Every structure is written in structure tokens, then in C-alpha cells.
Amino acid sequence: MQSVETMTERILYWLSLNTQVRALAERLLERFAVTVGDLPASAAHHHAEPGGLYRHSLEVALKALEEFEGDIVMERRSDGSVDSFRSSHNRPRWQYATFIAALCHDLGKLFELEVRGKGERWCPLDEPYAEFGRRTKTPVASWRPDRQHGAHAYVSGFLMHHVLTRQDIAFMGLPRVLHVGSCLAEAHSKESASALSQMVSRGDQASVEQAQPAIAVQPDSKVGYLLQTFQELIASGEMGINGPGAQVYVEGDKAAVVVPISIAMARDRLAAKQIVLPPNINLYNLLRSARLVDADQTGRSVRQIKLQGRQGPISLSALIFPTDKVVPKQILATLSPTHFEIETEPAPQATPVVEG
């Protein structure tokens, strides 16, 4: 698990191509930290520890920025054609707006907390939580029993005055400011209106799943969908197993699933169901956090395996799952025996951070 300091550095790294954006982001993160203080993100679900809301918010912001890096918001002229100049000019503004929307997506949860100290009850509209804490010394927080699941998304915007300044608004411009508002309301929706809102939603889900491995393996999670799809593809014969050029090799209780080809096959199958998997690096991290794949000593989920091919030994990149997670039981008895070895050292060109 990354430290808050490491995540902050990585967020500022993504925003550092524009020095004005980085400077704005540094000050905004300070204001956000004061606004949420050491409050939790949930009662007993995810990030329920002190400081959980701040950590969760950083995780979502970082994941949204990582995904944004591969996209560009295309702006169009009145006739519908792409305006390449404006698209390039406004890219840092869209990036900053997406960062803000992701960071602040759970601000509305502050309304769901009952906080008292020295006979006072905290009102999130009036002052940031950290200021109330400094004044009352030992505030006590509890979750309101009448809170409604998901309702906080609609009131997050009410607290943006603690986070945004006139400089932030002036830099983004009205279209991006309006975008932040819509993202805050749509971030928890399964069918968000905008692509960037969906980006925030995916970052939110990834952070939750990473925090609680048990959530990651539920049938309706992205990891759950992936495992179901592997089983479907193997059962239908579309994904080869223990044969020449196969995508899966099973030996005992370990199943080596060759990547990235197997992930691409699962993506295609799920896309037909309108289910989008996170980027590979995020997906691998989710699988590792859910303890579904073996990782090497550097923390890499993607391993190198060696096995005997038709013309001699071959080396492949693979994820190592427990066999029962990806292979239907009825298939096991029909498999030809095979043998593969898992390299104990990472490949020379590999790093513990980036996984393809």
C-alpha cells in the first residue's frame, strides 16, 4: 500500500507538465487536507480508519490521473469538426478538472457525520473539519443513522468553497468548472453521462477494491467479472489450455494465464456486455491486492514462466492464479499433463512499478 506522501508525489508528477497546474494543485491539496482532516471514509466498509477519507480521495485522484494520461478531450467547432488547437490548449485544464472531481468525489460524506466537541456540533458548511478540531481540541465523530447510501454525491458540491479558489476557477474556465460539478453528482452512477465521470467512478471502485480484498472477488466486481469470463472462455474452448499456443497452462493447484492476450480476450467478451475493465496495471494491482495471483519479491504480479514448446523451451509472461479460480472443475479431468517453471527473479528489463 502506497503512503500518503508517495501518492501525493505521484499526483503532482502527473500534473507537473504545466508548472501553473502543479502550483495550484499543491495549494488545493493543502486546503482539501484541512477540510476533511482525519475523518474516515466509511463506518465499517472501506477506509474506515482515521484519515481514511483523505487516503481514499488521494487514491481515486491518482487513478483518475493515470487513466486520463492516455486520453485527450476533443473539443469541436460549431460545425462539429475537431478543433485540434483548442483540444491541445485546454488539455491541462481538463486534466486539472478531472483531478479535482476525483479528489472531491466523496466530500458530501462530511454531511453524513455527526461531530461534536466542547458542546458544539460541527457544520461542514461553516468551517473545515481541521479548524473545528483545533478549536474544540477533542471532537468526537459518529455516522448519522439516517444517512442514505450514495446520497452524498449530490451534496459534495456544497462544500467546494473550502477547496476551490478564484485562481482554480479562472484557470479551469467555465466549461471545466461545470464539468467538475456534473462529475461530483455522477461519480457514483453506474451509467455516468460523461467519459470523465466514468473515469472517476472507475478510480473510486478500484480504490475500494484495493482496500478490501473481499470486495474485489465479489461476482459483480471487475475482478469477479474477469474470473467468470476466464471460466466461460475456457469452457467454450475459445481459450486454449495445456496445448501448443495455449493461453492457460495448469499444473496442480496453479494456473498460469498468459498475458496480455488473455486479458484482451476477456475485455472483448465483457465489452459485448458493456462492462469495461480497468487498465492492465490497475487490474494487476487489484488481483494482487485481492491475493488472487502470486507476486514476486518486488511485488510484480506478472511473472515469467518457462515451459517446453514444440521447438524447445519457451518463455511467457503470465499471471499465476489458484487453478480453481479460473478453470471450470469439469475441465480439469480432461487436461493433458504439462509442466512449467516460474522464474524466481524478475526479468532484466522489468521494474516493480510498471506492468504491461
Give me the pLDDT at residue 327, please. Answer: 92
Q: What is the distance between the alpha carbons of residues 156 and 6, in angstroms, rounded to a whole number?
A: 26
> Which among 312, 228, 313, 308 is positioned nearest to 275, based on CA atoms?
228
Neighbours of 253 (CB within 10 A): 9
Q: Which residues pair with 254 in a beta bridge?
A: 251, 322
Q: Are 56 and 1 in contact (CB under 8 A)?
A: no
Give me the pLDDT at residue 247, please. Answer: 94
Neighbours of 127 (CB within 10 A): 16
Give me the pLDDT at residue 345, please. Answer: 57
Residue 121: in which H helix or E strand, if any? Answer: strand 120-121
Q: What is the distance between the alpha carbons of residues 125 and 131, in angstroms, rounded to a whole number?
A: 12
Give me the pLDDT at residue 187, please. Answer: 61
Residue 331 burial (10 A CB sphere; 0-12, 13-18, 19+): middle
> Which among 21, 2, 48, 85 is positioned nearest to 289, based on CA atoms?
2
Q: Are 309 and 340 in contact (CB under 8 A)?
A: no
Q: Helix H segments across the chain?
A: 4-14, 19-36, 52-68, 84-103, 129-136, 166-172, 174-186, 195-211, 213-216, 222-235, 261-271, 280-289, 323-326, 329-332
Along the 356 residues of the chain, how does pLDDT read in single tens digits?
688 999 999 999 999 888 999 999 999 999 999 999 999 998 766 788 889 999 999 999 999 998 887 565 666 777 777 667 677 788 899 999 999 999 999 999 999 999 999 999 999 999 999 999 999 988 999 988 888 877 888 899 999 999 999 999 999 999 999 989 988 887 666 555 677 788 888 888 888 877 766 666 666 678 888 999 999 999 999 999 998 889 999 999 999 999 999 999 999 999 998 888 888 888 887 888 778 888 877 678 899 999 988 888 999 999 999 999 999 988 888 998 999 999 875 444 433 333 33
Task: Find all residues with CB under 8 Å of 309, minimum gap 6, and list them.
Answer: 244
How many residues are listed for the chain in this entry?
356
Q: Which residues pair with 7 in a beta bridge?
A: none
